[in-house]
């Protein structure tokens, strides 16, 4: 009960990202199924603390990562706050629920030489999809934006004279990110073939589109990135998000200020950005071991 209202609230009022809305919808449905199966409760708003703790324990028993469990509990916290504010309940059961501790796993990233190899030696076909795919990869690596942010880009978001791009991030927060000459060239090449391919105009204002002129869905973008990263690295994770990690790590390796990286990534707090400093510290340790005579 009230779950549909809640999804409508986070969509139209909170304006959370499409990715978060999909995740929260799935989390609520999973919790609803668990309550019905284990406790014969059909109204999620009436769940008690011990039942939510039982749900979390069940997830952990199913080998769900602490990060995923915490995200599901965050969803439920937001849901019960909404129910409390609407006076559907008189207290939130989440007050007695403690989230499991996240393991501090360092983000995966691609080495600089491998990224140079991607753009210098990997073949991108000289047609619409090949030129578009190179522009997509240049944009991910050149700005560190998220997949959903890239999907929402329009041509108007790009300021070529200033060489900056306006990104609409989480909760519709805007930020301006500079980009370099290589990305500028890739975008110009793409916009040229885009105009040639759709002389009569396309059906939407999105920057990156399919050969039919429709906006690209998340799976299509994922497969595009995976196709090319597979050719330069054997690293475990090869999703678009790894290019965001790579962007941040390479900037830190070149001694970019952490606060500047925070602004470009759109992080709300510096603690979210600081995890990349661990990668840089590990790099310094490796250099020390290789170079110092008493290492």
Catalytic residue annotation: 146, 170, 241, 244, 267, 276
What are the phi and psi torsion angles at 215 (to 5°)? -65, 145
- Distance CA(106)–CA(69), nearest Å, equals 19
Nearest to 82 by CA among 30, 114, 45, 37: 45
The DSSP letter of residue 180 is -
171-105-67 Cα angle (round to 5)? 50
DSSP helix/strand/coil, 168: strand
The per-residue b/e assignment along 19-53, b for 16 or more CB within 10 angstroms, e otherwise, is: ebeebbbebbeebbebbeeeeebeebbebeeebbe
Within a 13 Å sphere around the CA of 118, how many CA atoms are in the beta-carbon half?
A: 24
- Distance CA(34)–CA(76), nearest Å, equals 13
Q: Are 74 and 104 in contact (CB under 8 A)?
A: no
Residues making up the chain, counted from first to last: 295
17-230-249 Cα angle (round to 5)? 60
237-268-280 Cα angle (round to 5)? 50
């Amino acid at each position: 009960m009230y779950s549909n209202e809640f999804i409508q609230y986070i969509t139209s009022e909170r304006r959370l990202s499409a990715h978060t809305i999909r995740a929260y919808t799935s989390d609520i449905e999973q919790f609803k199924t668990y309550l019905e199966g284990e406790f014969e409760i059909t109204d999620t708003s009436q769940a008690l603390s011990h039942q939510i703790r039982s749900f979390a324990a069940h997830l952990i028993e199913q080998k769900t990562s602490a990060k995923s469990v915490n995200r599901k509990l965050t969803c439920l916290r937001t849901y019960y706050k909404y129910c409390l504010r609407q006076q559907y309940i008189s207290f939130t059961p989440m007050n007695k629920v403690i989230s499991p501790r996240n393991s501090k796993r360092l983000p995966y990233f691609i080495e600089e030489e491998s990224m140079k190899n991607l753009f210098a030696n990997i073949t991108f076909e000289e047609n619409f999809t090949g030129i578009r795919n190179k522009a997509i990869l240049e944009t991910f690596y050149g700005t560190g934006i998220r997949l959903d942010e890239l999907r929402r880009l329009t041509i108007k978001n790009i300021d070529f004279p200033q060489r900056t791009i306006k990104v609409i991030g989480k909760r519709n927060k805007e930020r301006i990110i500079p980009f370099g000459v290589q990305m500028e060239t890739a975008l110009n090449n793409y916009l040229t073939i885009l105009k040639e391919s759709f002389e009569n105009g396309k059906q939407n204002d999105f920057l990156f589109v399919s050969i039919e002129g429709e906006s690209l869905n998340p799976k299509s973008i994922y497969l595009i990135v995976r196709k090319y990263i597979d050719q330069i690295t054997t690293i475990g994770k090869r999703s678009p998000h790894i290019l965001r990690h790579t962007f941040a790590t390479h900037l830190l390796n070149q001694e970019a200020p952490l606060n500047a990286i925070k602004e470009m990534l759109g992080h709300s707090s510096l603690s979210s950005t600081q995890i990349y400093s661990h990668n840089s510290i590990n790099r310094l340790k490796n250099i020390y071991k290789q170079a110092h005579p008493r290492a």
